[in-house]
Amino acid sequence: MTIQNLLVELFVEELPPKVLNKLGAAFSGVLAEQLKAQGLAPADAVVTAFASPRRLAAHVTGVLSQAPDKAVQQKLMPEAVGLDAAGNATPALLKKLQALGTDVSDPAAAVAALKRAPDGKAEALFYDSVVQGASLQAGLQKALEEALAKLPIPKVMQYQLETDCELPGWTSVNFVRPAHSLIALHGSTVVPVKALGLTAGNSTQGHRFEAKVSPVVLAHADQYAEVLARDGAVIASFAERRAEIVRQLQAAAAKVGGGCQPIEDEALLDEVTALVERPNVLTCQFEQEFLGVPQECLILTMKANQKYFPLIDASGKLTNRFLVVSNITPDDASLVIGGNERVVRPRLADAKFFFDQDRKKTLESRVEGLSKVVYHNKLGTQGERMARVCAIAQAIGQQLGGDALAQKAVLAARLAKTDLLTDMVGEFPELQGIMGNYYARHDDLSEEIANAISDHYCPRFAGDWLPTNMVGVSVALADKLETLVGMFGIGNLPTGDKDPFALRRHALGVIRMLIEKDLALEIFSLINTAYLTFGQLLDKSEQFVRDELGSFLLERVLVLYKDEGSNISAVLYAGGLCYWSEIPKRLAAVRAFAALPESPALAAANKRIGNILKKAGEVDAHVNPALLQEDAEKGLYAVMQRLLPESEALFKAGDYTASLQTLAALRAPVDAFFDDVMVNAEAMDLRLNRQGLLKSLHVAMNRVADLSRLAT
């Protein structure tokens, strides 16, 4: 048995760039996991993944040539089934032992070798054996097949391999791309495993154009990255290649000067890393005249169509320089630079043409065209949707800022979707809203309206900014509420990981705006307002939408504040919570209260009070002092008379932290009450009075948060 490091490489044609890193991680991860499961690699083995456009590879440390034998105990059957009354083996037991390869010529000896142990309520017979450890060839073969089977391949292709038999023929192979060679090296020894019609060796191919030798031969598993870089001109590690691209991009930008920086885009960086084997960053430029086009258009066309990195100056403005990550390093790069400049020019010219053409029509003139665009077969056209959003935005604007804000919100909502009909957005849907902002300014609309048109899509993703003004907030809320209520109203609810209408994102946007913009808007009132704008279009009742969508939004709040644990549940389910904008202040109050030494006892008492009142049914929060008999209940009532008005005044003033902390002094009298007072007294008047006392206390204690949810 020898211990060496293992290298496995599958050399293929160019892999899908958007999933290359994921493929590399999956290939190495499953391969190592399978080797560990078979005892061929230690649990702490270091696994290194390699992924380039034409290869997936894994290096695993400390791999054994032969897994150690393993003792296995196997349950055969209950003793009552395997042995007769005399203790002799039954035919069923003998048949089972024969199947396991045991010599049953002497049944008594075979039975004596078995172990008896309790298994539940009865004794069972167990068979001890030693399983021979897997050889590296067999174990790696299994691991390799498993790794290939579990690759997250977006789409499989079928290709043909010529057979090796004497008669000519072809065999079909299904894989993400045609595979050309396989390496499996245990130290310096080739492990002759097979996959995709290939038998493992110790050679591969380097860079398609710049490799020094072909094939690239490896003498040892540990030399993979070094030899491939030296002889094959390939940086095999995805992470190292990515880091090298970042280094070269920064160096090239520094040479341009003026504080220029390449555009930050992690997805683009990953994709470009997956397109080159040895990166070479080159600086190119385009004509200054194109800078008259909105920079978002130019940036998007360079990134999406050409995979270029535009350069931004120190003020955040686009320059006419861009960076190309080439896969070749010629002595004279002028031809490569010139070729990329020629390729990008028509793209930029198209963007300029779209921009010029779009500005010939106002946004207002496009409103009518929305009625010809289908939004949803059950919910009508974009024109009908726009009318609903206008109505909701008007209601929200009226609540937040009166007539002036309502009028602006209606105008912005009316024009918010019109840029969907422009040539630019038709070519680049990602620019919806952004182009509406530019065209609104061209139409001499106010900055407030222009920003609202682009901002109404915000937040577009988790962590994105919120609308910058209240007009944008009104329209953004209206737009998202219309989508949520409409989809819930026709039964299009998200299920599992399927959310085609991004309802979770819309819900999170509504929640963030209500909270972070500190809006005095009640969520269920907003849902009702939105529902009424649909008329008779919706299949579901208003109550159904209110309940289901309300629960859905509450779940999103819990997810947003999941780090708060029971604190957020205590706040959300408090009877006095009207506006979600109060959530941060109430959470701060609950955190401060939970830190008090009296908190656990009061939370437990609150839970106990809640259970008593639940069993009592309808209880009036009224106390007749003349019916208080026990000293403990008199003492609690006296403290409540002093503390509860103070706590309520602080609550109304918005000082939730002080309001809750005031109640900490109730701990001792509450404890005494439960120690000395029988709540459910036989005399009905005493019972109702004591329940009324607890009801008054319960209301006061749960005004800021449901403290019973803090009880452990």
539, 493: one domain: yes
Q: Note the helical H segments in 517-565.
A: 523-532, 542-560
CA dihedral 612→615→619→623, nearest 10 degrees, is -30
Q: CA-CA distance, 418 to 367, in Å (whole number)?
A: 6
Q: Which has more pLDDT, 681 or 404?
A: 404
Asked if residue 467 is part of any domain, the answer here is: yes
546, 637: one domain: no
Asked if residue 574 is part of any domain, the answer here is: no
Helix or strand run (H / E) with residue 12: strand 3-12
pLDDT digits (tens, 9 = 90+) for 584-593: 999 999 999 8
498, 602: one domain: no
Question: CB neighbours of 587 closer than 8 A, spacing ≥ 6?
Answer: 561, 564, 567, 568, 571
- Give which of 390, 392, 377 is closest to 416, Cα–Cα: 390
For the segment 474-481, the average pLDDT, to the nearest whole number, is 98
pLDDT of the residue at 87: 84
Asked if residue 569 is part of any domain, the answer here is: no
171, 242: one domain: no
172, 248: one domain: no
Whether pTM > 0.85 for this model: the answer is: no
Asked if residue 83 is part of any domain, the answer here is: yes
Q: 561 falls in which pLDDT band (50, 70, 90)?
A: very high
Question: CB neighbours of 114 closer than 8 A, spacing ≥ 6?
Answer: 76, 82, 125, 126, 127
Q: 167 falls in which pLDDT band (50, 70, 90)?
A: very low
385, 495: one domain: yes
pLDDT of the residue at 26: 96
pLDDT of the residue at 169: 54
Which two structure tokens, joined as six digits, stand for 186?
A: 């245990």
Q: CA-CA distance, 607 to 570, in Å (whole number)?
A: 12
For the segment 56-81, the average pLDDT, to the nearest whole number, is 88
Q: Which of 185, 206, 232 is the last residue of a domain?
A: 232
For the segment 204-223, the average pLDDT, to the nearest whole number, is 95
C-alpha distances in Å from residue 464, one per residue of 56, 266, 468, 505:
35, 16, 12, 11
Q: CA-CA distance, 371 to 499, in Å (whole number)?
A: 26
Q: Identify the burial level of 161 via C-beta atoms within 10 angstroms of its C-beta, where 0-12 means exposed, 13-18 middle and 19 or more buried.
A: middle
Q: Which residue in the block uniquely carries the two structure tokens 């069993």?
A: 615
Q: CA-CA distance, 157 to 201, in Å (whole number)?
A: 25
Residue 711 has pLDDT above 80, yes or no: no
605, 698: one domain: yes
Domain containing 506 — which CATH number? 1.10.3210
Q: 155 falls in which pLDDT band (50, 70, 90)?
A: confident
pLDDT of the residue at 545: 96
551, 589: one domain: no
249, 329: one domain: yes
Which two structure tokens, joined as six digits, stand for 445?
A: 């609309």
Q: Identify the burial level of 531 via C-beta atoms within 10 angstroms of its C-beta, where 0-12 means exposed, 13-18 middle and 19 or more buried.
A: buried
Query: Which residues partner with 6 through β-bridges?
Result: 60, 186
Asked if residue 44 is part of any domain, the answer here is: yes
Percent of the chain predicted with pLDDT > 70: 98
* Total residues belonging to the chain: 712
Question: Which residue range forms the structural domain that includes residue 170?
Answer: 3-67+135-232
pLDDT digits (tens, 9 = 90+) for 478-526: 999 999 999 999 999 988 888 889 999 999 999 999 999 999 999 999 9
- Give which of 38, 82, 84 is closest to 60, Cα–Cα: 38
Q: Contact, 355 vs 293, CB < 8 A?
A: yes
For the segment 561-573, the average pLDDT, to the nearest whole number, is 89
pLDDT of the residue at 380: 95
Asked if residue 571 is part of any domain, the answer here is: no
189-190 sheet: strands from edge to edge: 47-52, 55-64, 3-12, 179-186, 189-190
Helix or strand run (H / E) with residue 649: helix 631-652
Which two structure tokens, joined as six digits, stand for 73?
A: 């105990």
Asked if residue 286 is part of any domain, the answer here is: yes
